[in-house]
Structure 1
Amino acid sequence: MTQTSPPPTAYTETPRSRCEFYRRECSLPTVIDPDTGRITMKAGFVGAVMMPTELAQRVKTALDVRGVAPLPIIGHPAPECGHSW
């Protein structure tokens, strides 16, 4: 009888666990904003952030609505960072 290993933890349960996923698996310097509870990342540490295409489209729309200067937004069809690149 062959034993299978349990699936890897998805880190989707809470913002804190998702933040840990970004830090450990994606090497992104993320933190949780204490006022809003949102996951944030200081952009000075990175040149660009690659994200799922659907999220990239929403980010671009939000920046356009706010009139933010054009910024590099990179969309990728992979569901999670780092697993297929």
Structure 2
Amino acid sequence: MLVSHAAGRTSGNDAPIHEPTILAFDPETGELLDAWGEGLFFYPHGIEVDRNDFVWVTDSEQNRVFKLSAEGDVVMTLGEAP
């Protein structure tokens, strides 16, 4: 199970978050398995995993959608940072 968070930030950021913003938990135990995304997002807003296990994350401050591998590597970005 994946969760995105903005590390306590509110909207209006102009710099990336320097800590992991995507957290992977074991759905049975709740144990934190992995954390990634540091330095990538300004304000992650939505997250979805597709049928091919790609992770899609929207960043409302950058006006971008990121397609990531299951390990957190950027595969593609859509949109342009303002």
Task: Give TM-score scaled by structure 1 length.
Answer: 0.24
Greater strand fraction, Structure 1 or Structure 2: 2
User: Which structure has the bigger radius of gyration?
Assistant: 1
